[in-house]
Amino acid sequence: MKLLKMLGVVAVGAATLGCSVAAFAADTIKIGDINSYKRAAAFSVPYKQGLELALAQINAAGGVLGKKIQVISRDDQAQPGEAVKIADELFSRDGVVMITGSFLSNIGLALSSYAGEKKHLYLAAEPLADSIVWEKGNRYTFRLRPSTTMQAAMLAEAAAAMPAKKWATIAPNYSYGKEAVAAFEKALKAKKPDVQFVTEQWPALFKIDAGAEVAAIDAAKPDAIFNVTFGSDLAKFVREGETRGLFKGKLVVGLLTGEPEYLDPLKGEAPTGWIVTGYPWYDIKDPAHVAFVDAYKKMWNDYPRTGSLVGYDTMKSIAAAIEKAGSTDTEALVNAFEGLNVATPAGKISFRKIDHQSTMGAWVGTTALKDGKGVMVDWKYDDGANYLPSDAEVRAMRPQ
Partner 1 sequence: MGVFIAQLLTGMANASALFLVASGLSIIFGVTRVVNFAHGSFYMLGAYVAVSAIAMMPGPFGFWAGILLAGLAVGLIGLIVEIVVLKPIYKSPELYQLVATFGVILVVQDLSLIAWGPEDQMGPRAPGFKGVVHILGQAVPSYDLVLIVLALAVLGGLWVLFNRTRAGVLVRAATEDREMVGALGVNQSVLFSAVFFLGSFLAGIGGAAQVPKGGANLLMDFSILASVFVVVVIGGMGSILGAYIAAMLVSVLQGFGVLLLPQSTLVLMYVVMAVVLTARPWGLLGKPEAAGQAGPGVVPEAPMRPMRLPGRLFVLALIAGLALLPLMGDPFWRILATDILIVCLFAKSLHFILGTGGLVSFGHAAYYGGGAYVAALAVSHFAAPMELALFLAPLGAGLAAMIIGWFCVRLSGVYFAMLTLAFAQVLWSIVFQWSDLTGGDDGILGVWPASWAAGSVYYYLVLVLAVGGIITLNAMAHTPFGYALRAGRDSSLRSEAIGINVKLVQWAAFVFAGAMAGLAGGFYAFAKGSVFPNEMEIARSFDALIMVFLGGVQSLAGPITGAAAFTLLKDQISRFEYWRLILGLTIILIVIVLPGGLASAGERLARLIGRTPRNAEPAP
Binding to partner 1, residues 173-202 (CB under 8 A): 173-175, 178, 199-202
Residue 28 touching partner 1 (CB under 8 A): no
The answer to whether 111 touches 90, Cβ cutoff 8 Å, is no
Of 221 and 348, nearer to partner 1 (C-beta) is 221
Shortest distance in whole angstroms from residue 359 CB to partner 1: 24
Minimum Å gap between C-beta 327 and partner 1 is 23
Choice between 202 and 300, CB closer to partner 1: 202
Give strand ranges (E) for 64-108. 68-75, 98-101
Task: Report the residue number, 278 or 361, with the smaller CB distance to partner 1.
Answer: 278
Tell me the Cα Rg of the chain. 22
Helix, strand, coil percentages in the chain from 3-state DSSP, rounded to 5: 50, 20, 30
CB nearer to partner 1: pick between 113 and 335: 113
Binding string, residues 75-104; x marks residues near partner 1 by CB under 8 A: x-xxxxx--xx--xx--xx-----------
Q: How far apart are CA 314 and CA 318, in angstroms?
A: 6
Is 17 a residue that touches partner 1 (CB under 8 A)?
Answer: yes
The number of helices, as runs of H, and strands, as runs of E, in the chain is: 13, 14
The reply to whether 235 sits near partner 1 by the rule CB under 8 A is: yes
Amino acid at 165: K
By CB under 8 A, is residue 304 in contact with partner 1? no
End-to-end C-alpha distance for the chain, whole angstroms: 61
Binding segment toward partner 1, per CB under 8 A, in 215-223, 319-327, 364-372, 386-394: 215-223
Tell me the residue length of the chain. Answer: 400
Chosen residue from 204, 288, 291, 396 binding partner 1 by CB under 8 A: 204
Report the run of H or E that residue 267 belongs to, with start and end: none
Nearer to partner 1, 184 or 340 (CB): 184
| Secondary structure of residue 123 in the 3-state scheme | strand
Q: Is 23 in the site for partner 1 (CB under 8 A)?
A: no
Torsion of CA 229, 233, 236, 238, to 10 degrees: 20
CB of 38 to partner 1, least distance (A): 6
| Binding characters for partner 1, 253-292, by CB under 8 A (x = yes) | --------x--xxxx-x-----------------------
Between 150 and 322, whose beta carbon lies closer to partner 1?
150
**Nearer Cβ to partner 1 (143/316):** 143
Report the nearest approach of partner 1 to the CB of residue 305 (Å): 9
Q: 281: part of which helix (H) or strand (E)?
A: none
36-55 residues in contact with partner 1 (CB under 8 A) are 37-39, 41-42, 44-45
Q: Are the beta carbons of 70 and 31 closer than 8 angstroms?
A: yes
Instruction: Closer to partner 1 by CB, 45 or 276: give it.
Output: 45
Q: Does 203 bind partner 1 (CB under 8 A)?
A: yes
Name the residue nearer to partner 1 (CB basis): 163 or 249.
Answer: 249
Site for partner 1 in 146-165 (CB under 8 A): none
Ordered strands of the 28-35 beta sheet: 68-75, 28-35, 98-101, 122-124, 141-143
Instruction: Compute the distance between CA of residue 56 and CA of residue 53 in angstroms, rounded to an integer.
Output: 5
| CB atoms inside a 10 Å sphere around CB 249 | 7
- Write out the DSSP string of 222-259: -SEEEE---THHHHHHHHHHHHTTTTTT-EEEEEEEES
One of 216, 332, 377, 397 touching partner 1 (CB under 8 A): 216
Q: 99 to 118, contacts with partner 1 by CB under 8 A?
A: 105-106, 109-110, 112-114, 116-117
Among the listed residues 65, 139, 166, 209, the single contact to partner 1 using CB under 8 A: 209
Contact call for residue 25 and partner 1 (CB under 8 A): no
**Dist CA 385 CA 358 (whole Å):** 8
